[in-house]
Structure 1
Amino acid sequence: MQAKRLIFKNSTGDRAYICENSIVVEFGVCRNGISTSDLNGGYKKDFKTAFNHYLSQENIDFLENHSINDYLLRQSEILGIDSDFTTGLLTSAQMENACVVTKHYKNLEVSAITTAGVRVNASRAGDSASYYEENGEFHFDVGTINIIVLTNVSLEPGTLANGLVTATEAKTVALNNL
């Protein structure tokens, strides 16, 4: 892995690092999770890492001839991550501006590592689409709110799905309040 700077550590041994243009989360133990990524998206029982990567214009140009999954596989390799056990997100937000928040309730610990690039195309339900792929050609303006949520407990798949819905609703509220 490239040079990295620790930005977060929780009670279960999960650690988050900034590695150049990415935030890499290394899980203390294999984790189940749910992801919206093209790379190992959906529900998976054996994540070892997750990453959020800044997508520069140069890398957008790379995507003109490759799939998003190809790009994420390439980025996994650059970061020294086993692509079979990770998931990755893309954003136009700078990793240095990430926000990390941890909240506790009784014995539950929940942390969110969030990046927001809302100047360009962050959207909510009802907004026009700003990204699509047609015949292998990509048309989009990059800009997203990406959230990696960590807990100190293993959650059932249905609970993870409910958490994903809640996080999406929270993003919508945040955009409405801008």
Structure 2
Amino acid sequence: MIRILSYLIFFTLGMLLFRPILLEAVENIQLPEDLKARAFVIKSEKDGLWEKSLIIQFSERRRVLSTNDGFLDALAVVNHSAHPLLWERVCKKGKTKEVMKDIKKRIAKTIGVRSEEIALMATAVDMDNLAVKTKKFKPFVVSVLATAGAKTNALRTGVDEGTYIEGEEPKGTVNILILTNVRLTDGAMARAIITATEAKTAAFQDLKVPSSYTKDVLATGTGTDSVI
């Protein structure tokens, strides 16, 4: 299963960072039945600017590990995207945490769950550039849904400093959402995040994504990447 996950992250990010795949204006995203999850995108506007939420909803609570929310028993996981100007306004006001809580509440109300039952990550990358890839190796099924932006915030771990401070202009982000048909232990989920990170870095290296901060070095990711 680790090999499947590594392949999926590498291939999916390769599509995004090298040649983005544009989804048509559809709300439902087909997932394998074995995953027992429904995927769809909710589109809305705020102050005339777009917001799009990728929602994966489960029929029953599922143990989830999120780099934002930690471990939780979730009924839904979300990758929320909003126009860069919206994030810029939020950051300048220093209201990121409050806005994230509000996003959770709005989505929870829409799908009929509690906000505490949602794992959330966010990005300024347009959800129309979502990449979806599934790999099967019986009895395992793994799907990855990812968004990626690395034009302004690509950095190399161990070389570049994390200088972003809330209130500055929003930067690039790689968000990776991983689904599987098997129940993983907490330790296995933590191990999966390591594998996902290694695969993401491999994709950056093979695509020769340069650091936004240091000349002549390749990036290993961005400063705001998230995984669920």
Indicate yes or no: 2:208 matched with 1:149: no
SS in 2 for 1:9: coil
SS in 2 for 1:102: strand
1:10-57 residue CA offsets vs partner (Å, 9 max, x unmatched):
3232111111212111123211011011xxx1122x111111112422
1:70 to 1:114, Cα distance in 2 relative to 1, 3 A: same
The amino acid that maps onto 2:204 is L
Question: What is the Cα deviation at residue 143 of structure 1?
Answer: 0.8
1:91 to 1:124, Cα distance in 2 relative to 1, 3 A: farther
SS in 2 for 1:28: strand
For 1:155 and 1:65, the matched residues in 2 are separated by 39
Provide the residue aligned with 1:9 in structure 2: 31
Provide the residue aligned with 1:42 in structure 2: 70
Indicate yes or no: 2:201 matched with 1:172: yes
Runs of 5+ consecutive residues of structure 2 not aligned to the other structure:
1-25, 44-51, 208-228
For 2:56 and 2:139, the matched residues in 1 are separated by 22
Aligned residue pairs: how many?
A: 168
Provide the residue aligned with 1:158 in structure 2: 187
1:7 to 1:123, Cα distance in 2 relative to 1, 3 A: farther
Q: Which has the higher contact order (CA 8 A, sep 6+)?
A: 2
Question: What is the Cα deviation at residue 59 of structure 1?
Answer: 2.8
Q: Is the 8 A contact 2:91 2:170 kept in 1?
A: no
Runs of 5+ consecutive residues of structure 1 not aligned to the other structure:
none
Aligned identity (percent) is: 31
Question: What is the Cα deviation at residue 158 of structure 1?
Answer: 0.4
Question: What is the Cα deviation at residue 66 of structure 1?
Answer: 4.2
SS in 1 for 2:75: strand
For 2:201 and 2:96, the matched residues in 1 are separated by 25
Provide the residue aligned with 1:57 in structure 2: 85
For 1:5 and 1:99, the matched residues in 2 are separated by 14
For 1:164 and 1:114, the matched residues in 2 are separated by 14
Provide the residue aligned with 2:137 in structure 1: 105
Two-structure CA RMSD over aligned residues (Å): 2.0
Provide the residue aligned with 1:32 in structure 2: 63
Question: What is the Cα deviation at residue 150 of structure 1?
Answer: 0.5
For 2:187 and 2:42, the matched residues in 1 are separated by 32
Greater strand share, 1 or 2?
1
Indicate yes or no: 2:42 matched with 1:19: yes
Q: Is the 8 A contact 1:131 1:141 kept in 2?
A: no
1:47-99 residue CA offsets vs partner (Å, 9 max, x unmatched):
11111112422233123334433222111223225310111111121101111
TM-score normalised to structure 2 length: 0.67
Q: Is the 8 A contact 1:48 1:86 kept in 2?
A: yes
The amino acid that maps onto 1:9 is L
1:75 to 1:98, Cα distance in 2 relative to 1, 3 A: same
SS in 2 for 1:138: coil
